[in-house]
Amino acid sequence: MSSTLTSSDASRSYGSSADVPGGRRRWTLVGRWCAGALCAGVSLVVGCRTADTDAVTPVPQLLAFLPWLLVPAGLGLALSLLARWWTGLVWGAVLLALLGWFTEPYGKGSRPEGVPVARVRVLTSNVEFGRATDALIAAVRRERPDLVFVEECEYGCQAAVVRELGGGYPHRRAVPGDTSVGSVILSRFPLTPTAGVPGRMGMPGAVADVDGHPVRLQLAHPKPPLPRQVALWKRELGRLADFAAAHRADGPLILAGDFNASQDHAAFRRVLDTGLYDAARLAGAHREPSWPTRTTPALGAQIDHVLVSGEFSARRARFLDLPGTDHRSLLVDLTLHRPR
């Protein structure tokens, strides 16, 4: 018998080209390249989060979904393991550790030491150009909040809420406008008008007389961080932070609405750093998504908030699904404390 193998015998002996050493090397290179691309993309966003900056597009848009970057970071780690790329293993592990750290709640919890003097139920709802007006009216009648902050409540929406809810909410502060400009605050408590925060979309303000205790109210609705208006989004969130800082010593404050920002945005953390607390975070719902409704609660970002000063505690926070809008409404039960 001859000891020489023919070419066909050699092909049958080694099998497919993926089994030969050259094929394994190609797979290793592809695996490392893919792992590196995934880790590099995640590193861009995590690096900006670590540096406390929102940077420029696409970073602000991706920061809204920061916790979900655990998926590509984990995939990069797995590919590095399969490709035996030890640098990638370390890289992916560091990214996962940082992402895990940043998913923790931002800011401290509020523990007022004063005597409870009033309970206040607050609802904030973006009705998307007024399309969810009927659903909002039904939710208000069902949940009976004391204060209602409504964003994107255009002319028809404002007329409807006055007509249908005016008896129970005789006090209002509104900025009239079409599409996303219109906003309104509805209140069971008497309101004293105040200057709102300037912005492209309406952000009215008032002082509510809550059982004899003045509470400053401010609706928040800065422009979203679309690619061509990131600078405007930062500027309007900065105005909200300036407002909160200016009124920090004036007594109880509720700043509520669609912030178009999550706790992973540096511009939003600047607002919290003025001494305000996120009511959903206080009530244990700090990562419950509120937008977009097409993918919540499986995937989304919490960009609708009720922020309160240290005189408030939060007992419960619930996100309500209203048909017709891409936002979930946020309902929180607050207790106002009188400082000792």
Residues facing residue 324 across a β-bridge: none
| Same domain assignment for residues 148 and 258 | yes
pLDDT at 259 over 80: yes
* 109 belongs to a structural domain: no
| Same domain assignment for residues 43 and 183 | no
Tell me what the mean pLDDT of segment 151-164 comes to.
98
pLDDT at 13 over 50: no
Rounded to whole angstroms, the Cα distance separating 217 from 195 reads 11
pLDDT tens digits, 103-119 = 999 987 777 888 999 99
Could you tell me the pLDDT band of residue 5, with boundaries at 50, 70 and 90? very low
pLDDT at 16 over 80: no
Domain end: 71, 102, 133, which one? Answer: 102
* 108 belongs to a structural domain: no
| Same domain assignment for residues 226 and 323 | yes
pLDDT of the residue at 107: 82
| Same domain assignment for residues 300 and 154 | yes
pLDDT at 4 over 60: no
- In sequence order, what are the residues at sequence separation of 6 or more whose Cβ sits closer than 8 angstroms to the Cβ of residue 1? none
Rounded to whole angstroms, the Cα distance separating 264 from 60 reads 9
SS3 letters across the chain? CCCCCCHHHHHHHHCCHHHCHHHHHHHHHHHHHHHHHHHHHHHHHHHHHHCCCCCCCCHHHHHCCHHHHHHHHHHHHHHHHHCCCHHHHHHHHHHHHHHHHHCCCCCCCCCCCCEEEEEEEEEEEECCCCCCHHHHHHHHHHHCCCEEEEECCCHHHHHHHHHHHCCCCCEEEEECCCCCCCEEEEECCCEEEECCCCCCCCCCEEEEEECCEEEEEEEECCCCCCCCCHHHHHHHHHHHHHHHHHCCCCCCEEEEEECCCCCCCHHHHHHHCCCCEEHHHHCCCCCCCCECCCCCCCCCECCEEEEECCCEEEEEEEEECCCCCCCCEEEEEEEEEECC
Which CATH number fits the domain that encloses residue 330?
A: 3.60.10.10
* 71 belongs to a structural domain: yes
pLDDT at 214 over 90: yes
Cβ atoms of 123 and 139 within 8 Å: the answer is yes
| Same domain assignment for residues 187 and 284 | yes
* 2 belongs to a structural domain: no
* 50 belongs to a structural domain: yes
Domain end: 102, 130, 158, which one? Answer: 102
* 26 belongs to a structural domain: yes
Could you tell me the pLDDT band of residue 21, with boundaries at 50, 70 and 90? low
| Same domain assignment for residues 165 and 223 | yes
Could you tell me the pLDDT band of residue 2, with boundaries at 50, 70 and 90? very low
Number of domains in the chain: 2
pLDDT at 197 over 80: yes
pLDDT at 298 over 90: no
| Same domain assignment for residues 334 and 237 | yes
Entry pTM? 0.91
| Same domain assignment for residues 20 and 142 | no
| Same domain assignment for residues 18 and 163 | no
Rounded to whole angstroms, the Cα distance separating 224 from 303 reads 10
| Same domain assignment for residues 32 and 120 | no
**Boundaries of domain holding 73:** 7-102
Rounded to whole angstroms, the Cα distance separating 240 from 96 reads 32
pLDDT tens digits, 56-111 = 999 999 999 999 999 999 999 999 999 999 999 999 999 999 999 999 999 877 77
| Same domain assignment for residues 123 and 60 | no
* 107 belongs to a structural domain: no
pLDDT of the residue at 43: 98
Domain end: 67, 102, 137, which one? Answer: 102
